[in-house]
Amino acid sequence: MLHILQSAPPSTSDAVLRAMFAARKSVFVDLLKWDVPVLEDRYKVDQFDDLNATYLILTEPDGSHLGSARLLPTVRPHILDSLYPDLCEEAPPRAPDIFEITRFCLDRRLRAPERRAVRDTLVTALVDHALDHGITAYSAIAEMGWFQQILAFGWRCRPLGLPRHVDGAMLAGLRIDIASDTPGLLAAAGIHPAATIGDGRRIAA
């Protein structure tokens, strides 16, 4: 099931949001060892998790987290312009119809085939959301391994500057242009939304 939510975590009681923040803590803090804020030792939350953030969250019917991403408006402070502007050869993309994809998170309990299904479903959901809301482009930051995967999705994607070493990782800023033909480009590259994962558990309503 896809949830599209907008809420600030300090005041939320939404179980789907709590599950997402817990999954982010498990992936980014426990697994990847990021030195980032953690709320109540359970939830990965930062200064960009406010009322301006939009969350796309995939869950099982019982609300268990499968995958999620956060969208930030680029007309406000966001990660690329606030923390990593040096990843861009020119000024970071900034417009009302450009949003930044951040905190793309696949649940750690997923097996490899399940991760692929959830990843592809979340990517197609991001494109559908853009088309439904007049978003013409996404910006993002990615480590090189993930950046190479993003390029292989078939959509129009380009680096914003030369990759740079940051805190031991090679990072790149990128721009993804979204248009009416983007779903077809994804499909041609083998990126398809899934209704179930692994043993038949549902991920879409």
CA distance 53 to 65: 18
> How much is the pLDDT for 12?
45
Read off the pTM. Answer: 0.89
Read off the CATH number of the domain in which 96 is found.
Answer: 3.40.630.30
Domain boundaries, position 114: 2-202
Mean pLDDT, contiguous 10-residue spans, the chain (205 residues) = 75 74 74 55 70 93 90 96 94 97 90 92 97 98 92 96 88 97 97 77 63
Tell me, rounded to whole angstroms, the distance of Cα 97 from its chain centroid. Answer: 17
pLDDT of residue 168: 79
Identify the pLDDT of residue 11.
44
CA dist., res. 110 & res. 195, Å (int): 15
pLDDT, position 172: 95
Contact 154, 191 (CB under 8 A): yes
Distances (CA, A) of 179 to 1, 51, 101, 110, 145: 24, 27, 17, 31, 25
pLDDT of 34 = 57
Give the chain's domain count. 1
Q: How far apart are CA 123 and CA 67, in angstroms?
A: 10
